[in-house]
Structure 1
């Protein structure tokens, strides 16, 4: 009959193997300020090239990139990295100091196009992404602004042209909410 120590060692080995296989499913998204919004929308700052190369393994179907591809921390060839996995890629190059209603309208069109799959919305640090996603959630998906704004507040408190864009779009949609 096996000793108690041998039984405990076998159980520990089995648990370690189970735990390792459970953690080996899909790599985490390596990017600053990752904020999961729902099962189908995740916002973040700039993912690493390696993280971008593994998005399909995490169930993503599309990437919406909201910064100009010329910013200093942009990943060279991001479009190609994403498309090689069969994912769709949209770049809306919003200058940080000049977001416009047209930028938001482009964003809404992209999000509607990808509404049946998991989407990564990102920029450099998740300021553009969190704000545009907040506006989409409130004005298009009709989510409560207080709840939707929590995702923005995890990253930043919009000021200047970004706060102006929020206020303008909420008023246009007749949504009574004042961002912090």
Structure 2
């Protein structure tokens, strides 16, 4: 059932990502042992679940919402995401947004900058999903900082 969720990717035994899961998919995520759902989508978008937090919590999982405007990601959004990921080490974490574009960038940066995963491996899921536009390419470059060498 998990593999049927929009753009689902299993990045590590304790980490998976996808587009917006529906209620049945959230139940499958809980049944698979995930303990935290992080939502990077906006609350007022057409695809958003009316009571995502309540649905997730009723299934026995924790819920964190970091509303990330697709057209205006900020360094503070990224710092908040990193802090939530680091505060929840040891939990099985499911991260989603609408279609996985925002998530693929944030997880790529987290995997590389916080877990030391090589850049090409950290961003492999993102490359499978989409090619970032100029705004997101600049955001990634700024987050990575100046090239070293």
Relative to the length of structure 2, the TM-score reads 0.93
RMSD value over aligned CA atoms? 1.5
Larger Rg: 1
Deviation per residue, 1:35-62 (Å, 9 max, x gap): 1111111111101121112322111010
Q: Which residue is equivalent to 2:143?
A: 169
Moved over 6 A (4+): none
Mapped contact 1:66–1:92 kept (Cα < 8 A): yes
Report how far residue 72 of structure 1 moved: 0.4
TM-score, normalisation: structure 1:
0.78
Q: Aligned residue for 2:111?
A: 137
Equivalent pairs, count: 149
In structure 1, what is the equivalent of residue 5 of structure 2?
31
Unaligned runs of 5+ in 2: none
What secondary structure does 1:60 align onto?
coil
CA offsets 1:63-120 (integer angstroms, 9 cap, x no match): 0100111110111211111111221101110111000100000000111122111111
Q: Give the 5 Å matches for 1:61-80.
A: 61-80=35-54
- In structure 1, the residue matched to 2:98 is 124
Q: Which has the higher contact order (CA 8 A, sep 6+)?
A: 2
